Amino acid sequence: MKVNKKAIAIAALLVVALGCVKKKSKVASAVSSNRSAFQRQSEIARARVLGLAEPLRTEDGKIVRFGAEKEGSTRRIFNIATFNLNALVSVFKPTSSASAAEKKALFDVLRDPNAQKSVEEASVWTSVWEMVQERAASNFDASSDSYDDEKFSNYNAVEKFARVSLDDVLTPSALLKAEVILKGIYAQADGPSYGAPFFNLVPRAEARKYIESIGTEAAGKIWEIRLRPTDSLKEFEDSVSWYRSQIASQRKGEDPELYDGPGHVWISTPNSAESVSHYVNLLRLFIYLRGVSQSTGIMNSKYNSMLGSSGNFKSESIRAPVRFTSNKFYSDGEMLSGWEIRSGMKSEWHRGQILDLMLPRLVVGDFLRAPEKQGQFEQMDQFFQPSDVLKGVNLEAGCWSQILTYDPASQNPASWSWGPRLRSPYREFVERTQVEYAQRCKAINNPEETEKLTKAWVRATGVASQVEAWLQPTPPTTTEADFRFSPPGDRQGSFDANTVDLGLELTSRFPLSTASEFADDELEEETGKKEWLQTVFGMSDAERTEFLRDMAGKLSSALGGSAASVADLSNPDETGHGHGIVKAFSFLDASRRKWRVEWDGVGRSYDDSGKIVPDSPRGGHIEVVTPKFQPTAQELESVYRVFSEMSSIPSSDFGGGHINIDLAPFECNPKALARFISFFHEYRDVMTVLFQSPKRMKSAEPLWANGEPKGNDLVALLSRFNGNSSDLAKILYDSRYFNTRVGRKTKYTQLNVTAFFQDVVPARFVTSDFDIMNPTVPWRQTFEFDPRIRKMEFRLFDAPKHSFELASQIRFVRALLDLAVRGTESPKGLNARVDQVEMARNPSALAQRYDEFLKLLRLNTADYDWLFWPRLSKLRAFVNSDAFSPLAEKLAANPQREGWGPSLSTPRTQANGLVSAMRSFERYGKSDTVAEISNPRLQQIRNAASAREGLSCPLAP
């Protein structure tokens, strides 16, 4: 057969061309239509982070507009407002209905320096009045000690005074005493009452750009500002920032203290009330429950109602955290209808949480996702009835009437009918704690203690997290392609990153958390810790054991195995991370591979002899440890399906999603491992934003976070490394590529490669694990090794919330493997700074590096935008919140430890390698004594033990 060389050449070109075309993103591009709420999430976050004043449009092109109102009672209102000229002058008009006494009262306040804040301000005030007097009509004596109504035939002086207030830099109205303006000297029961001129205010010139109107509430005792509607979220946030800075309190020599943001936010919507009823009910629940758990004061708020008097949530008069309204604000002369969010909006952090949930569904009209039974949150009047499980509790003798002043049937989440709306076994845990709550309330005759107990119940049951999970946009269905990295055709070699064995540690939360009471003594600030006194609500040891056993059985069945393969690994003699608390089960999947389910991150307390206090083990999370394998989409989808069925919700703030990578690909190619580490450090700021919660930085610390390593430039050395495995192992150990902090473990880094260089670590540092939290156990320099285990561990990854997020993590790791092994690009030898404040404040620079890194990895940014932009948005909000403290401050009590010595000149072989678990710790040499942390906690521990002995707290079971 004759070969057509031209046709072959054309075909080859087509293959190359097609190979360069990026696969279509499941997250969709910005121009695609019919996008899901999940897809819109990243677009909204990107616009917010980059400060893009782009209109937020619904899928049919309508603009979503934003507005807000703020109520308050500070005289700093006059930084942005002044008197309404007409309202002020009208008091003195001959046709005014004000009496002579009322006119005199207002006149005296306007001219009396004694009504001012200080002598200096009074002087300014007097100067202004002198100026006004000069300009005023001769028949009005502004300096007169008495007010003559007959002489006041015109009101030029007052008119000029008002105009000075509006336009002059020296603003008389800004000098009035707060009590004069805000408490209403005219509102006295035994005197004239004419305060309206003080409260009928108008925006100043600059303020008119941001403020629609200024009104009053509470009979003129507080003002209400309405911000102008904006066509973009960026413009809205700008107006909020402007407002907060203008009303800020300025203290001499200090940065101004920003005022609260608007408490009520409006969002116009094209959706009708009927189409979103189910979603609104859930959103109200979330805002209220989150506010209770975080002690925001919502339990005492005027806007915490769940239903109107008729039981109709659509009523515009309802005083709820969220309501529909058709008469709140205008835009271009048009009255807009939409949402009014009345709680949780003052801080950027809380406002961002709520808007991140709302806006993506709002713009696509996706309100269909429901909890376990469709419609269960439509009939809210039934939900707010006391739960059936409480029928056996004497409510009259209980706490319902003690919970502040609100209606317990509709405002106490511990009494609501949760059961029919939850899955088992979560349902049983929630209902059991409801009964416990009611029983404990019987002994309480104190509203403050009852409120404290209610907050503990909400935190322990995690009902806010459950409702939030229902509200979250639904991720795409995960397929095999989402886990795989498609290698580019221009790279040489047979290496396939998809065939490298991985080990995964996947974490999720127990359905019932632990709410505890802690002591509060004078040593708290010094140690940063409070000592446990008692558990208020939580799971017992038996319940945790049974839950883990049940999960192991369900996972085995879901993975094609059998519940009969479940084996109890719990052993009181097992060290269990040094603390001996081991609750774990193993099971087999369809391929007879062993998996493990265990209780990890165990909270615990000690007595002064170092023994764990009975009943103190608490909290923590569930960890599912996979075998060493090449995971499939079906297997990992099965894991998350079981999590969902058991109401075990993963959290990015608690527990990681460690990905362990088999080191086999680097055994004969140490240069590739050096490249891997080098590329990681070059772009680890991007990876930190993509995959690591700012709340998890201590457990996965960036080595040399804000600078270069000491001694030598390790990253630059790795970028040009060309030696053998022993050379690389020595370089990594001698450069201290591990956590050297006192009080931390050597593996607590973003990328743990200690297993690679274990054979060159001095033997004295290879010892069994120890209990890092036990105050009587000295911290020690030690590594955990087993010669049979050769892996690299990514600890920076958060616990994936769903299989689609896990797929994104795995594909990213595989792309980095391919770049290190087959790529021809040279690393630059740079160590990227991991400074959360800097990353949050320079989003454009970070976004450029993000694009650059994904291009280098041959990944599509559209496949990762859904992670990058929302996480960067949350990082910015977190950095600006009161909860944020820099990593350096968190680690101030953990100094770097010296004295690790040099690496071994002759590495141990795998055959004679050391197993840490088989080696006990021994002190060594005076010159290299183990550093011990001074322990003021011991006195705290003794104080807590005394408090427990005589515990009579109303929170006690």
The amino acid that residue 13 corresponds to is L
User: What is the distance of C-alpha 270 from the center of its chain?
Assistant: 29
Of 81, 28, 90, the residue nearest 59 (C-alpha): 28
**Is the distance from CB of 416 to CB of 427 less than 8 angstroms?**
no
Integer CA distances (angstroms), 294 to 458, 462, 631, 677, in order? 10, 12, 38, 40
pLDDT averaged over every residue in the chain: 78
Q: Give the CA count within 13 Å in the CB-facing half-sphere of 69.
A: 19
pLDDT in tens, 545-588: 999 999 999 999 999 999 899 999 976 545 455 566 778 999 99
List, in sequence order, every beta strand (DSSP E) within 389-501: none
| Comparison of pLDDT for 138 and 846, the residue scoring more | 846
Lowest-confidence segment of 354-358, 660-664, 827-831, 921-925 by average pLDDT: 921-925
Asked whether the predicted pLDDT for residue 212 surpasses 50, the reply is yes
Lowest-confidence segment of 268-282, 398-412, 860-874 by average pLDDT: 398-412
**Greatest mean pLDDT among 142-151, 357-366, 406-415, 838-847:** 838-847
How far, in Å, CA of 552 to CA of 573, rounded?
22
The amino acid that residue 675 corresponds to is R
pLDDT in tens, 505-518: 999 999 999 998 88
The amino acid that residue 234 corresponds to is K
Q: Looking at residue 109, what is its pLDDT?
A: 58
**Greatest mean pLDDT among 49-58, 208-217, 948-957:** 49-58
pLDDT in tens, 236-273: 999 999 998 888 876 655 667 788 888 899 998 766 55
Instruction: Tell me the two tokens of residue 541.
Output: 């040891």
Confidence of residue 394 (pLDDT cuts 50, 70, 90): low
Asked whether the predicted pLDDT for residue 640 surpasses 70, the reply is yes
Asked whether the predicted pLDDT for residue 620 surpasses 70, the reply is yes
**Greatest mean pLDDT among 686-695, 880-889, 936-945:** 686-695
**Is the distance from CB of 202 to CB of 80 less than 8 angstroms?**
no
Tokens 């707290």 label which residue?
953
> Average pLDDT, stretch 734-744?
93
**Greatest mean pLDDT among 149-163, 435-449, 689-703:** 689-703
**Greatest mean pLDDT among 246-250, 381-385, 753-757, 911-915:** 753-757
Helix (H) or strand (E) holding 270: none
The torsion angles phi and psi of 534, rounded to 5 degrees, stand at -160, 155
- Tell how many helices (H) and how many strands (E) occur in the chain: 30, 20
Strand partners, 535: 516
pLDDT above 90 as % of the chain: 38
pLDDT in tens, 416-456: 889 888 989 999 999 999 989 888 877 776 777 888 888 99
Asked whether the predicted pLDDT for residue 930 surpasses 50, the reply is no
Integer CA distances (angstroms), 447 to 80, 361, 406, in order? 40, 39, 11
The distance in angstroms from the start CA to the end CA of the chain is 89
Integer CA distances (angstroms), 276 to 280, 365, 467, in order? 6, 8, 16
User: What is the distance of C-alpha 276 from the center of its chain?
Assistant: 26
Instruction: Tell me the two tokens of residue 684.
Output: 């680890």
**What's the order of all strands across the beta sheet hosting 584-588?**
567-568, 584-588, 594-600, 621-625, 502-508, 659-662, 791-794, 751-752
> Average pLDDT, stretch 173-187?
42
Instruction: Tell me the two tokens of residue 275.
Output: 């189409």
- Residue by residue, DSSP assigns 2-56 as ---HHHHHHHHHHHHHHHTSPPPPTT--TT-SS--HHHHHHHHHHHHHHT--PPE
Contacts of 615 (CB under 8 A, 6+ apart): 534, 535
Q: Looking at residue 938, what is its pLDDT?
A: 77
- Residue by residue, DSSP assigns 637-683 as HHHHHHHHHTT---BTTBSB--EEEESGGGTT-HHHHHHHHHHHHHT
**Is the distance from CB of 214 to CB of 81 less than 8 angstroms?**
yes
List, in sequence order, every beta strand (DSSP E) within 500-603: 502-508, 515-518, 532-537, 567-568, 584-588, 594-600
DSSP 169: S
| Comparison of pLDDT for 368 and 911, the residue scoring more | 911
The amino acid that residue 69 corresponds to is E
> Average pLDDT, stretch 351-355?
87
Contacts of 336 (CB under 8 A, 6+ apart): 65, 67, 229, 266, 268, 328, 329, 330
Q: Looking at residue 96, what is its pLDDT?
A: 67
Compute and round to an integer the Cα radius of gyration of the chain: 33
- Residue by residue, DSSP assigns 302-350 as TT--SS-TTS-TT-TT---SEEEEEEEEEETTEEEEEEEE-SS-SSHHH
> Average pLDDT, stretch 379-385?
75
Tokens 């917010």 label which residue?
48
| Comparison of pLDDT for 118 and 781, the residue scoring more | 781
